[in-house]
Chains A and B, each alone.
Chain A
Amino acid sequence: MYLPEFKLKKMNGTGVSPGISIGTAWVVKKDIRTRTGILLQNEEDILREMEKYKRAVKTSAEELQAVILHAESSEAADILEMQIELLNDPQMERDVFDKITAGKKNAHDALMEVVEILTARFWNMSDAYLKARASDIQDSGNRILNNLGGLQKATPPSFRTNTIVVAEDLSPADTITLDIKNVIGFITREGGKTSHAAIIARSRGIPAVVGCGEAWHGIKDGDQVLMDGETGLVIPNPEQEQISAYVLKRQSFMEKLNLLKKLKHAPSVTTDGWEIKLFANIADADDLETVFDQGGEGVGLFRTELLFLGRESMPTEEEQFALYKNVAIKSKGKSVTVRTLDIGGDKQLSYFDIPAEQNPFLGYRAIRICLDKKDIFVTQLKAILRASSFGKFSIMFPMISGIREIRQAKEILAGAKNELREAQIPFDENIPVGIMMEIPSAAITADLLASEVDFFSIGTNDLCQYSLAVDRMNEKVKELYDPYNPGVLRLIRFIIEQGHKHKIRVGMCGELASDPLATLLLMGLGLKEFSMNAGAIPIIKDIIVHHDLEKAKAIGEAVMQMEDSAKIMRYLQTMNT
């Protein structure tokens, strides 16, 4: 795509509600409040100011109650309920009354001081979610201040079509009460991903970019503005080429969004009633939110390498436990398959020296390292086991070539369990154990390995590379890297068949699982569990819910008779449309 030079200023904020909008800026002017400096003279003044505060709180709460009735989503109502609690907060009242009685301040000044202290306290918290509550407190304070008679209430404006509201910050009540049926975007100077304004913008499906910082001043009332609520890009007065490029982007975004809306809560079931499980691959606890947003049913592959990379020494058992436990808790009781350390090959650790190898992918990596350096392995297994009591974990060993490695790994796992039992540390006694199927020798002996484990997970990337003897990073031969090669497909079919024959689960977590071209074929070969990057889930689900398993089986059988991958891919293309 032709991308023109950006002559004009653009700014980058945090995209908090995805979507692309092009509209007219409407800049919200902020009220400026100053203290009155009045000092109370006598007991009578003090009582009057306390009464005045109580009345203002009551009116403020009533205002919000009225807004709740109009709240469109339960998220919005929840936020307003919380704000009502804040208005009525006894601690806040105690603090305000203290300033009135002891400090002789009037209600207005007393409240301003208390709100300043409170917002500063929350701003200084390390947790992003709590930091964002500072603006809720500010908002509650402003509402009471308004009702103390300090300021005239601004009448809410009515917007022309295609308005983008540009503000320093937006309170949740603003985002709910503003007449926003004509509003197509929010841009703010302040705020983060967890600000309530962001949450509400998301729940109403309005693109929003927050935290633009000082560049925010670059937008003037009436400017045409282009914004991308996903990347956080804001372009005031965009060029025609920029607009055209983003109109295209908006189209594809809307298509995906519609698909997701339609399918997020739909069960992943074929038209003839077969359930196909859709899991996601993750590397961190934070990824789980997206997984559930996209309709994922759990995690088919939790890569544990992230914690080991970009640091100076091995993570301790406690550090690993903290991460795994966080994943367990955030997975809300859904199943999570944890893959033990898969380093070596292209993933090197600075503090763990692996001497240069002629063929790193055929060398010292993954389970081979773990079985050699047992202390590393035991530390990780203990951390995973301890976390297993907080969720529904399975353990998966990568790079298994044969039965001896499985038995060794299981023996070390049994030892780790024993250590925990002796220390009386709880863990899931029945934690399932499985292996990655990514080495041809394991694939071809799937029948022999099945009795040793609870599940197989097919790693198509390595399986493809090893069975075709091709390095896909090598420009000269990467054309040969082809998961539709009949040899690879036969290996996959055999693994699935043998797994099911021996009554164990078989899943796939390699890239092929997220390729829409392969979905029906894999289902036809009997695959019941797909694990992929979360973003691909709606696309794959869309295929599953529109087809029946009988057709998929016929496709599987037809493909198995084809001798050439180009032919197979052409055939699959016609089947998908």
Chain B
Amino acid sequence: MISKVYTILAAEGIHARPATALVRLARQFSSSVYLKKNEAMVKLDSMLNILSLATKAGDVITMQIEGEDEVSAAAVLDQFFTEQLKHL
């Protein structure tokens, strides 16, 4: 299992547009991806789940990935959280 922590710097947090992109990205991999914020942990295959985390700018989230292609999934999602998210 791979676990990584991110501080969300995008001004709008994870709103609808990035959530759409994120779900679509995670779907390309067979690994299960989870997002954790405070006590809540949700599966990343669902837009409803991501939105219900209500992630705001400055929030700290943990991503957990488990599965066969977890290494490549982690790399792609890492790129999403550190780079792409800011522009969405």
Contact = CB atoms under 8 A, between A and B. Distances in A.
A83 B51 CA distance: 13
A342 B46 CA distance: 48
B52 A90 contact: no
B19 A82 contact: yes
Contact of B20 (A85, A129, A326): A85
Nearest to B53: A130
18 contacts: A78-B17, A78-B20, A85-B20, A85-B47, A89-B46, A89-B47, A90-B43, A90-B46, A91-B45, A91-B49, A92-B46, A118-B48, A121-B52, A122-B52, A326-B58, A329-B10, A330-B11, A390-B9
Nearest to B15: A129
Given A326-B57, A329-B57, A92 B48 contact: yes
Given A326-B58, A330-B57, A390-B9, A82 B20 contact: yes
A98 interface: no
B18 to A, nearest CB: 10
A539 to B, nearest CB: 27
Contacts of B17: 78, 82
B5 interface: no
Interface in A219-237: none
Contacts of B49: 91
Chain A CB count within 10 A is highest, among B9, B17, B48, B54, for B48
Contacts of B20: 78, 81-82, 85
Contacts of B43: 90-91
A137 B9 contact: no
Interface string B2-39: 00000001111001110110011000000000000000
Interface in A10-69: none
Interface residues of A, number: 27
B54 A127 contact: yes
Interface string A129-149: 110010011000000000000
A130 B13 CA distance: 11
Interface residues of B, number: 23
SS of A interface (majority): helix
B9 A86 contact: no
A365 interface: no
A344 B61 CA distance: 42
A196 to B, nearest CB: 8
Contacts of B9: 329, 390
Contact of B56 (A78, A81, A82, A127): A127
Interface in A300-358: 322, 325-326, 329-330, 332
A133 B51 contact: yes
- Point out which of B15, B23, B46 has the most chain A C-beta atoms below 10 A from its C-beta: B46
Contact of B47 (A82, A127, A130): A82
A79 interface: yes
Contacts, number: 58
A245 interface: no
A330 B19 CA distance: 19
B11 A133 contact: no
Contacts of B16: 78-79, 82, 133, 136
A125 interface: yes
A320 B20 CA distance: 33
Contacts of B56: 127
Nearest to A132: B16
Contacts of B15: 129
Contacts of B52: 121-122
A277 to B, nearest CB: 22
Contact of A332 (B11, B19, B47, B58): B11
Interface in B53-88: 54, 56-58
A130 B54 contact: yes
Contacts of B11: 329-330, 332
Interface in A80-139: 81-82, 85-86, 89-92, 118, 121-122, 125, 127, 129-130, 133, 136-137
Given A85-B20, A325-B58, 20 more contacts: A78-B16, A79-B16, A82-B17, A85-B24, A85-B47, A86-B48, A89-B46, A89-B47, A90-B43, A91-B45, A92-B48, A125-B54, A127-B56, A129-B12, A129-B15, A130-B54, A322-B58, A326-B58, A329-B10, A329-B57
Contact of A85 (B12, B23, B54, B58): B23
- What 3 pairs between A and B have smallest CB-CB spacing? A91-B46, A85-B47, A82-B16
A322 B57 CA distance: 11
A137 B19 contact: no
B16 to A, nearest CB: 4
B51 A130 contact: yes
B12 to A, nearest CB: 8
B45 A90 contact: yes
Contacts of B46: 89-92
Contacts of A136: 16
A8 to B, nearest CB: 39
A388 to B, nearest CB: 14
Contacts of A82: 16-17, 19-20, 47
Given A81-B20, A122-B52, A329-B11, A86 B47 contact: yes
B63 to A, nearest CB: 18
A171 B56 CA distance: 25
A97 to B, nearest CB: 14
A129 B11 CA distance: 13
Given A82-B16, A332-B11, A89 B48 contact: yes
B19 to A, nearest CB: 7
